[in-house]
Amino acid sequence: MDNWDIVILVVVAYVAITTLVRLMIKRRNHLLARFRRQMAEEKKKNKKAKQQDMAA
């Protein structure tokens, strides 16, 4: 392998790694948003059930 092959390999590896990291961050943010939304819904549901128990 000559110098140009090494340069191309390094550039391709950098692009692949940065792309993978960006995809992983986007997926993590999506999962966190979904988890937070589910927790908020569960909190509302529990609060509503607690209010109904107290009223009964």
Per-residue pLDDT tens for 8-40? 999 999 999 999 999 999 999 999 999 999 999
Q: What is the pLDDT of residue 56?
A: 66
Q: What is the pLDDT of residue 40?
A: 97
Q: What is the mean pLDDT of residues 37-48?
A: 95
What pTM does this model have?
0.72
**How does DSSP classify residue 2?**
-
User: Tokens 């009964």 — which residue?
Assistant: 56
Task: Give CA separation, 19 vs 9, 13, 24, in Å.
Answer: 15, 10, 9
